[in-house]
Amino acid sequence: MNENNQEPLLEVVGLNTHFFLEEGVVKAVDGVNLTIRRGQTVGIVGESGCGKSVTARSILGIVPSPGKTVSGEVIFYDEETAPNGESKQPVNLLELDPKGKEIRRIRGKKISMIFQEPMTSLSPVHKIGSQIIETIILHQKLSKAQAREQAAEILGRVGLSQPFELLNRYPHELSGGMRQRVMIAMALSCHPSLLIADEPTTALDVTTEAQILRLMRSLQAELGMAIMYITHNLGVVAQMTDYVIVMYLGKVVEETDVDTLFFDPKHPYTKALLRSIPRLGASQGQPLEVIHGSVPDPYNKPSGCPFHPRCPERIEGVCNTQVPEVIEVKPGHRVRCHLYV
């Protein structure tokens, strides 16, 4: 999908989320800008600790303590019309009362999130049925019987057999793959405009992972929702996404459509990530490259470009002293690197 041919659904502008620890302040999200358009799947990629999950949590206002979103805007374009028939104004989610009615209406009904570990969202002491039914009733004007019907229907849709029987079971009675499907069903039960998926298949075996990815793709086509897909797995990015944002140490370092990312990457970090994945056609036994060095200490980020200690293309005297700005190398392809100035 071309990045400009759809209306924006969510715009993140100058987002900063910091963690205030005894050892110092960690700028986990450091001036992030990104746009998600209606129906688009945007991949957020990077190594552990690059800030991708904290960005997602900041959007929903669920950053765990001692983290705090200190500045920025998260503009959500709600497509619903106001009761008087006028179009609703875009709303800055960061300005809403974090425990108020409006953010709770948006969270769950408009924007849903699924996590790597289903037990993050499922209660171990309640039956599957009561959990999904409660979510449905919270956001839709339905009777309990209608909500039960809808809950069974959505469980069937995510590929679970005997959905009515499943409603009476507890999460611990299900396999990991089934729990993940239940969580997806719960997230989709209110037909959100945006689904945020944070490494939802990382803990699953490859067969179940492939099934869940196919399922999410087909449900997306059916329901027309946008997906923000967080992963460190570039194979999943290739399968799932239209547009990709690469993050390193809390900053967006490259963003472009998925084909350009794989065939014409610009940022040395993106190129290194791509060299570290297996490729079809590579000769057998050819070792994969590893990214030189490790992610630096987040309390003490390197000066200049934070990737410079690991970068094979660094320009001495420039990259270690000057912070690179974002450059648009072609429409819709932006990169934060001195090589393209």
Beta-sheet pairing, 333-336 with 326-330? antiparallel
Using alpha carbons, select from 121, 117, 115, 94 the residue that is nearest to residue 106.
94
DSSP annotation of 81: B
Q: How many CA atoms lie within 13 A of 264 on its CB side?
A: 10
Nearest-approach distance from CB 325 to ligand SF4, in angstroms: 10
Nearest-approach distance from CB 31 to ligand SF4, in angstroms: 16
How many whole angstroms separate alpha carbon 63 and alpha carbon 126? 25
Q: Say if CB 102 and CB 53 are below 8 A apart.
A: no
Q: Given the rule CB under 6 A, which of 62-70, 104-112, 237-245, 333-341 is the region that contacts ligand SF4?
A: 333-341
How many whole angstroms separate alpha carbon 89 and alpha carbon 112? 21
H-run or E-run covering 197: strand 194-198
Q: Say if CB 260 and CB 244 are below 8 A apart.
A: no
Q: By CB under 6 A, what part of segment 15-44 binds ligand SF4? A: none
Q: Does 338 bind ligand SF4 (CB under 6 A)?
A: yes
Q: By CB under 6 A, what part of segment 281-310 binds ligand SF4? A: 305, 307-308
Task: Examine residue 302 and say whether the peptide bond preceding it is cis (omega within 30 degrees of 0).
Answer: no
Token reading at 160: 């679970």
Binding characters for ligand SF4, 260-279, by CB under 6 A (x = yes)? -------xx-----------
Q: Is the CB of 77 or the CB of 269 nearer to ligand SF4?
A: 269
Q: Does 327 bind ligand SF4 (CB under 6 A)?
A: no
Q: Given the rule CB under 6 A, which of 211-219, 277-285, 290-298, 314-322 is the region that contacts ligand SF4?
A: 314-322
Q: Is the CB of 176 or the CB of 302 nearer to ligand SF4?
A: 302
Q: Does 339 bind ligand SF4 (CB under 6 A)?
A: yes
Radius of gyration of the chain (CA): 21
274, 315, 326, 327: which one contacts ligand SF4 (CB under 6 A)? 315
39, 118, 129, 324: which one contacts ligand SF4 (CB under 6 A)? 324
Residues that bind ligand SF4 (CB under 6 A): 267-268, 305, 307-308, 311, 313-315, 319, 324, 337-339
